[in-house]
Structure 1
Amino acid sequence: MTSTVTSTEARAPWVARAVPYLPLGLIAVLGASLAYVVRLPCRTGGWNNQVTTYTNFCYTDIYPLYFDRELSTQNPYFASVPFDKQVEYPVVLGEVMQVFSWIARALDPDNVAQAVRFYDLTVILLGLCLVVGVLLMAAVAGPTRRWDPLWYAISPAVVLAAYINWDLVAGALSLGTLLAWKRGRQVPAGVLLGLAIATKFYPLMFVGALFLLTWRTGRWRPFLVTMGSAAAAWLVVNVPFMVFAWDGWRRFYVFSQERGVDWGSPWLFFQNKGWPVLGEADVSTLGMAALAVMCLGIAVLTLAAPRRPRLAQICFLALAAFMMTNKVWSPQFVLWLVPFAVLARPNWKPLALWQLAEVWYFIAIWLYLLAQPPLDRDDLGIADDTYFTAVWGRVITIGIMMALVVRDILRPEKDVVRQADIDDQAGGVFDRAPDRFTLATLTK
């Protein structure tokens, strides 16, 4: 049944195929517009006052980094600025920032006006990435689950976090990777994956998901072509900076390694409470060890499950494990996970519970920062214990979703996606592929 629907859809004129996506695209435009409205109190001057920024819940990295990373005068990677003032992002984002700073400087001589224009230009790009990401997600989900991307288009957590940072760019590239893989186009899938990793680091977790399902199905050639294309694309955009701007290029990697425990991470709770007392080196080691244990568990699950898991399920589990064990868990990280959580398990109750936890965290972090030095506004902010209810709310609700996905993998009849006579809507060469290796074969 699924193959008939897919082939019929493929034969239809492109205009006819595009019509079902139009309402989703319009709703995504609404979500992008609401995200802009949320930050209007800051855009009109609030960013110059931290108390105003936090009480209006309209913080963004985009405006202050224009000044703090000297984008008004310097190239992010070739600039002769102190190491801690260099851009701490991979090269695709760094050059996006550079291009928009050039345009902003050309449009207005005033630095403050430039920064606002830089923000507006960036938001236009991010809004487009959200709309494109929603449409790509709908194409991945397929006709039977076409409305599931509404969670990405207009959920409150996405609207609130959309323009904090540049994460939506990596989201569009990641979903493009998934769609290209679904359609058996391994070279474009690899190119998009390489660019996604050169934009934000988290798409690297999808390599493990592809590897595990390749191992189980024995479809090595598509995997190797994709990985080769990803490596080539990553090298093409990175090597020029590695050769001509080494210090600027390596800033992201040094910053990621040396960064201490930061807001949102469960490790911050343990440091704050002293249970146990953790040094920065200890947290780095514990975080990597915890991630390794969780990834090992995902590998065992993938190779031991009675039926091959869907690609979106393993991507979700791997990405959730990465977020839960990381030294920092910023509010905008919700944008990473929403599409894969919905594709993995589009059941509204656990998704709604998690979204409530994300909204509470979004509110709590800014109120908590109000009570921290140098502001020390205890009259406006919240204390440690209240803030950490939000931290653990995210951990617990995502943990619940992970447990439900694991249950669906172990009991495939519970998987609502597969109940529609679908094997793996994003699987590409994995879709309906027979097993070549499972852990059960080791006992035979």
Structure 2
Amino acid sequence: MSGAHPDDVAAPSREDPAAAALSEGIGGPVGDHAAPHRWWTPVRVLLAITAVMFVFGMLQKVPCWDTQWTDNDTRYSRMCYSDVPYLYVGRGFVELNWPYSDDEETRARFDVMEYPVGISYFAWGTAWVTHWVSGSPDISDRPEVPVGDLYGDPQVLEERNNYVAVTAVVLGGAALLGAWFLARTNRRRPWDALPYALSPVLVFNGLVNWDVLAVALVAGALWAWSRDKPVLTGVLIGLGTATKLYPLFLLGGVLVICLRRRAWTDFFAATVAAAGAWVLANAPAYVSGPDEWKVFWTFNSERGADLGSLWLVLSQAGHDFSDHEINKASWIFFIGWCAAVLVIGLLAPQTPRLAQLGFLVVAGFLLVNKVYSPQYVLWLLPLAVLARPRWRDQIIWQSGELLYFCAVWWYLGGFLQPGSGDHAGFYWLAIVLRMACEVYLVAIVVRDILVPRHDRVRHQGVEPPRSRRLHDSATHSPRAS
């Protein structure tokens, strides 16, 4: 790997007991006299593994593909559901409509995309590629066909499968880009990205929605920050926020780090760059259809307790909360959580890493959010694997996510419904266990921050370049002496 001597690269099978035990199936821990392969560098190995795992994710959707996404029983019993094919028709991409068109006839036929602009642009762009792959079918007569009939049109069904395939290929590229960024964030620790490359949650959740796009941008922001590029970090955070809201929370981690280092210029540069990138990304949508652009914001503010959240458990258990009460309570908890992360970050013996702080903030948002869809685990994935690169803890956390992945589809399919007709208690249990595994990982990351000797990244002496540079300048300054 460029930038690091092979002997300096940390080997998981040497420093991680769980990785050492798992390595027995492929020859055991790396030996003292092991020589690196001339071509198979750690980064290339990680990219190859990510590609193979994402292909497994595509194969996992085959049962729904074979039924052209029309069999409700299959999509839940075989757990192959994806939002992608249904929105191809439901949001007007079947007619190549611009997602933010304010045309009255278009808006009467199709709902507005309820996602941030990055996803909407991507979904629209892949629709154009799909039509080209499908032989550029004549769509001039489609506006005259009732939308309900389009769902059963054989040509549209074939296009819809092509749309899923095109989307999967491009999202696979985004997953590879995320792996590349993560592997290069710490020059001496490329293998910290291995739990990402081998992640079962990437396999099962990668094609449920378009969240992998934001994952790649978050991984890019972590890489850019490790390379002393605050402006590029801000640009990637801004683009990520235009794709999914949560990358914005990384600025909280940047703030804590800059407060400790008194690096006000870096925080200002990252924040301004993020705001500028977000505005530029949103401009085409806002200019073409301001009311349509606002749908994402109104949709989320008016949303009630939904899948995966503790609010849903409480609501189904008989505690009736209005949407306003849930919004208010969620924001109060989240603000308090962010304040706690700020205090932890400022009191830590050493400056925490951005992945650690970002993980804590995003985890707090998800734990109290009124919806916790199965694919939201991808938001945490790049942050979690760098915040706590330990196989035991990653396995515990992702096991909870896999349990929930199974439970949510069986719940939606009615397979967990008790004979008495009551609410599905096993689904509640899956929600609680999922969150318990996440809280466990949160606790471990907090411990690593407050007691750095538990943090293997710190223990190895790996620090972000900027922290070393500032430390050196402070050591040699008159004030320090």
Q: Assess, with a 3 A threshold, how the Cα gap between structure 1 residues 428 and 287 changes in structure 2: closer, same or farther.
A: farther
Amino acid at match of 2:131: R
Partner of 1:119: 164
Tell me the equivalent position of 1:404: 444
- The CA deviation at 1:123 is 0.4
User: Following the alignment from structure 2 to structure 1, what is the Cα–Cα distance between the partners of residues 363 and 426?
Assistant: 24
Q: Distance in 1 between matches of 2:310 and 2:303?
A: 15
C-alpha distance in 1 between matches for 2:253 and 2:390: 22
Contact 1:350 1:397 in 2 (8 A): no
Partner of residue 212 from structure 1, selected from 249, 253, 256: 256
What is the letter of the counterpart of residue 185 of structure 2? Answer: V
Match of 2:454? Answer: 414
Q: Which residue of 2 aligns with 1:42?
A: 64
Compute the displacement of 1:131 (Å): 1.2
Is the CA contact (8 Å cut-off) linking 2:46 and 2:194 kept in structure 1? yes
**Which residue of the partner structure matches residue 152 of structure 2?**
none
2:92·2:110 contact (CA, 8 Å) conserved in 1?
A: no
Aligned-pair distance for 1:132?
1.2
CA distance in 2, matches of 1:315, 1:84: 37
Query: Equivalent residue for 1:98?
Result: 124
After superposition, give the CA deviation of every residue in 1:300-330 in whole Å (9 maximum; x if it has no partner). 1111222222221111101111111111111
Give the corresponding residue for 1:341. 384
1:354 to 397, 401, 410: 397
Deviations 1:220-264 (A, max 9, x none): 112211221111111112123222210121111111111111100
- Is residue 217–residue 434 contact of structure 1 (8 Å, CA) maintained in 2? no
Task: Report whether the alignment pairs 1:129 with 2:155.
Answer: no
- Would you say 1:85 and 2:111 are equivalent positions? yes
State the match for 2:371 in structure 1: 328
SS for the counterpart of 1:87 is coil
- Aligned residue in 2 for 1:386: 426
Partner in structure 2 of residue 442 of structure 1: none
Question: In the alignment, is the contact (CA less than 8 A) between 1:364 and 1:382 conserved in 2?
Answer: no
Q: Quick check: 1:77–1:245 contact (8 Å CA) kept in 2? A: yes
CA offsets, 1:248-296, max 9 Å, x none?
211111111111111001111111112x432221111111111111111
Residue 240 of structure 2 corresponds to which residue in structure 1?
196
Equivalent residues in 2 for 1:152-301, closer than 5 Å: 152-274=196-318, 276-301=319-344
Tell me the equivalent position of 2:476: none
Alpha-carbon distance change, 232 to 349 in structure 1, aligned in 2, over 3 angstroms: same
The change in CA–CA distance for 1:322 and 1:105 in structure 2 (over 3 A counts) is same
Distance in 1 of aligned mates of 2:388 and 2:181: 17
Question: What is the CA–CA distance in structure 2 between the aligned matches of 1:16 and 1:90, rounded to whole Å?
Answer: 43
Deviation at 1:166, TM superposition (A): 0.4
In structure 1, the partner of 2:190 is 146
Deviation by residue 1:361-407 (Cα, 9 ceiling, x = unmatched): 000001101118xxx9768x995210111101111111111111111
Deviates more, 1:219-228 or 1:82-91: 82-91
Distance 1:391 1:29 in 2: 30
Matched residues in 2 for 1:406 and 1:264: separation? 24
Structure 1 CA distance for aligned equivalents of residues 424 and 435 of structure 2:
17
User: How far apart, CA to CA, are the structure 2 residues paired with 1:296 and 1:5?
Assistant: 40
Letter aligned with residue 336 of structure 2: V
Decide whether the 8 Å contact of 2:49 with 2:198 is kept in 1: yes
Letter in 2 for 1:157: V
The letter for the 2-side match of 1:419 is H
Query: C-alpha deviations, 1:184-204, integer Å up to 9, x for none?
Result: 122222221111111111101
Query: In structure 1, the residue corresponding to 2:336 is in which secondary structure?
Result: helix
* One-letter amino acid of the counterpart of residue 26, structure 1: A
**Residues 131-183 of structure 1 deviation map (CA, whole Å, 9 limit, x = unaligned):** 1111110101332x222212111222221111000011111111111111211
Q: Is residue 157–residue 358 contact of structure 1 (8 Å, CA) maintained in 2?
A: yes
Q: CA deviation at 1:5?
A: 5.7
CA distance 1:205–1:29, shift in 2 (3 Å) = same
Contact 1:83 1:251 (8 Å CA) reproduced:
no
Match of 2:82 in 1: 60
CA distance in 1, matches of 2:108, 2:402: 36
Relative to the length of structure 1, the TM-score reads: 0.89
Once residues 221 and 17 of structure 1 are traced to their aligned partners in structure 2, the CA distance between those partners, rounded to angstroms, is 41
The aligned counterpart of 1:365 is 408
Q: 1:158, 1:335 within 8 Å by CA — same for their partners in 2? A: yes
Q: Computing the radius of gyration over CA atoms, which structure comes out larger, 1 or 2? A: 2
Q: Pick closer, same or farther for the CA change 1:282–1:273 going to 2, 3 Å.
A: same
Q: How many angstroms apart in 2 are the aligned matches of 1:430 and 1:118? A: 45
> Could you state the TM-score of these two structures normalised by the residue count of structure 2?
0.82
Aligned AA (2:165) = D
Contact 1:367 1:382 in 2 (8 A): no
Q: 1:266 to 1:432 in 2, by over 3 A?
A: farther
Q: CA deviation at 1:20?
A: 2.9
1:75 to 74, 98, 103: 98
1:439 maps to what in 2?
Answer: none
Q: How far has the Cα of 1:126 moved from its partner?
A: 0.7
The 2-side partners of 1:197 and 1:429 are apart by 25
| Secondary structure of 1:48's aligned partner | coil
For 1:161, the aligned partner's letter is: N
Matched, 1:429 2:429: no
